[in-house]
Amino acid sequence: QSVTLWGRLNTTVESQKIGSLDRKMVLQNNNSRLGLKGSEDLGGGLKVSFNLEHGFESDTGAASGGTTFWNRQSNVELSGSFGAVRLGKWFPGSYFAVPDYVSMHNHDTGTSSDALYAYGDFPSSNKVAYFTPTVGGFSSELSVTAGEGTTKRSLDAAVNYDMGPAHAGFGYQKKGDFNQFAVRGLYEFGPLVLGGYIQRAENTFGGVKKNWNVWRASGMYVVGQSEFHLNFGKADNINVNDGAKQLTVGYNYNLSKRTKVYGFWTKVDNQAAGTYFPVSGMKAGQDFSSLAAGIRHNF
């Protein structure tokens, strides 16, 4: 059969603290998902493939982010020597090329995911994209979101480069007044992997155009089945005292290629007017921290 069913359960038990409120114990989903994919060889180098991907809350069983079931992917693609054309829904290429790539400790999911990167409106539905073939280590994606008369069109571009231990990426996104670009690098020094990005974002607040920078550095050190992680990010002020810092320390123990148990400590430090919120229900200026232990299983 041509269909593959795959997925991931990623659940932590966390002791979370918001501002000066009491710590609470929380069962936390870390972007669990279920996917269906398939492809058909059409001959002459041509191939059609599809992806359906459902994100769900592993702690409650609900679809992530509302009632849309295939909230991560729903697309069909025709590919060949010319590259590929894809129609439907999927996450922006600029996201995978930059913040997701360097968030090595837990796939940029859950409370220790990148809270600072400027996502814009994260356009994923109603997209048409062209993917270049990989040439000399370079591959690119250019996608346009159909405005459909009610919302503004958005544009997303990504370039990835891979050559041996060296990896780099570039992302660009534009929708209305918001636009951002970012560069990312990552290098594998044997058991030590170091990565990072710098992002420049621009948007309009109260009629005034502002721009700001976000940067992040991350490192992983591998010893046998163990991984030690450090991840630090900083978002500059947009207006006054609204920047933030984020620090995560993590440890993974790989029980197999597909399964790990892990722990992390993460903290987001908002300035007085900062609104970088890893969980809902927070107010401007509140910090967030969490101590977590969990299990991730890919199937």
User: Which region, judged by CB under 8 A, interacts with its own copies, from 38-46, 191-199, 208-216, 240-248?
Assistant: 38-46
Considering only residues 69-88, where is the footprint of its own copies by CB under 8 A?
A: 69-76, 78, 87-88
Q: One symbol per residue from 111 to 130: x for binding its own copies (CB under 8 A), - otherwise; what is it? A: --------------xxxx--
Q: Binding its own copies by CB under 8 A: which of 31, 79, 89, 270?
A: 89
Considering the rule CB under 8 A, would residue 38 count as an interface residue with its own copies?
yes
* Closer residue to its own copies, CB minimum distance, 89 or 216: 89
The nearer residue to its own copies, 75 or 140, going by C-beta atoms, is 75
Is 217 in contact with 195 (CB distance < 8 Å)?
yes
Mask: binding to its own copies, 146-165, rule CB under 8 A, as x and -?
xxxx----------------
Three-point CA angle 297, 72, 293, nearest 5°: 30
Chain residues binding its own copies by CB under 8 A are 1-7, 9, 11, 13, 21-22, 24-27, 32, 34, 36, 38, 40, 42-43, 46, 48, 50, 52, 54, 56-63, 67-76, 78, 87-89, 125-128, 146-149, 255-256, 258-259, 261, 294-295, 297, 299
